[in-house]
Amino acid sequence: MRLSEVGPVATAFWRLALALLPLLVMYGREPAGPGGLRRPRTPREYAEVAAPGLLLAADLATWHLSLHLTSVANSTLLVNVAPIFVTLFSWLVLGQKIRSAFLVGLAVSLIGMVVLKGSPKTLGGGDIRGDGLAVLAAAFYAGYILLLGRVRKTYATTIIMVWSTVSAAAFTGVLTWFAEPAFLPVTIAGWLILLGLAWISQAAGQSLITFALAWLPATLSSLTLLIQPVIASILAWLVLKEPVTGAQMAGGVIVLTGILLARRA
C-alpha cells in the first residue's frame, strides 16, 4: 500500500476492482440451483450480500489514509483493535452481556496504545490523525466482520465475495473521483503492486476469512487476525527500512494482551 503509485483511496479502489477478475472466474465455475450455490434472488437478498462491502470500503479508505499519516507498525496495530469493537457491537446491537473482565482488557489495551506512542505527551503529535483513522478503520472492520458472519450462514464464500467486492469497489470509486488527483499508475511496477493487493490481500485473503466464518464466531475470527501487526512490522523493517522501537514492541505486547483478556471475557 505504501509503495503504490496512486493515492490511498485510489489504491483501495484498484484493490477491489482488480480482485473481481479472479472472483468472477470462480463465481462462473460454481453451479447454481439444486446441489449448487444458493444465489440471491430478490433486491433485499442482493442488499444483504452487498452490505458488508460498504463497511469494507470505509475500512480500506480510512486505513489507507492512516498508512500515509503514521507508521506501518502503529497503523496496523491500531486497526487490529477490531476485536474490541466486535465485542462492543455484540453487546450494544445483539444485547450480549459484558463482564467486568472485558473492561479490564479494554483498559489494558488503551494503556498499551499510550505505551506504543511513547508517552501521553506524544498522543497529541502530528501523526495522531493517522492513529485516529486507524482506530476508526478498526470500527468499520468490526462491523464488516459481523455482517460477514451473518450472511455467511446463508451464502457461500464466492457469492458473498463477488457482491460485497462489487459494492465496495463502487463506493471507493465514487470516493476516488472526488478525493484523488491521480487515478492510474504510471509504471508496470505500479500495476503489479495493485494486482498484488487485489489478488493476494483481497481475493485470496478476504475469501479465506469469509470461508472460515462458517465455523468460527466473528469474535474469534477477528482475534486470529492479530498476527497481522507482527507480520507488518517485520515487513516494514525489511522492505521500508522502518525501525521498530522498544516502546512500540512493548506497547504492542500490552495491546495484544488486553485484546486477549477482552476476548476471553
Q: 137 pLDDT exceeds 90?
A: yes
**211, 37 Cβ separation under 8 angstroms:** no
Let me know if residue 137 belongs to a domain.
Answer: yes
Residue 119: DSSP 8-state:
S
Number of domains in the chain: 1
**Position 145 in a domain:** yes
Write down the pTM of the prediction: 0.77
| Paired strand residues for 37 | 32
Task: Give the residue, 103 or 58, on which the prediction is more confident.
Answer: 58
Q: Which of 25-34, 58-67, 112-121 has the highest mean pLDDT?
A: 58-67
The pLDDT score that the predictor gives to residue 122 is 52
CA–CA gap between residue 78 and residue 252 (Å, rounded): 9
Give the range among 22-26, 144-148, 156-160, 220-224 with minimum mean pLDDT.
220-224
Taking all residues of the chain, what is their mean pLDDT, rounded to a whole number?
Answer: 82
The answer to the question of residue 3 being in a domain is: no
State percent of the chain over pLDDT 90: 27
**Which residues neighbour 77 within 8 Å (Cβ) at sequence distance 6 or greater?**
116, 134, 229, 233, 248, 251, 252, 255
In-domain check, residue 20: yes
Judge whether residue 117 has pLDDT over 70: no
Residue 1, in any domain of the structure: no
- Is residue 2 assigned to a domain? no
pLDDT over 60 at 11, yes or no: yes
180-230 tens-digit pLDDT: 777 888 899 999 999 999 999 999 999 998 998 888 777 666 666 666 666
| Cell numbers found for residue 53 | 462491502
Rounded to the nearest angstrom, the gap between the alpha carbon of residue 227 and the centroid of all alpha carbons in its chain is 13
- The Cα angle at residue 195 between residues 194 and 198, in degrees rounded to 5: 85
For residue 228, tell me if it sits in a domain: yes
Give the Cα separation of 86 and 229 in Å (integer). Answer: 18
Answer yes or no: is pLDDT of 70 > 70.
Answer: yes
Domain that holds residue 142: 8-264
Identify the bridge partners of residue 47 per DSSP, sorted by sequence position. none
Inside any domain, residue 27: yes
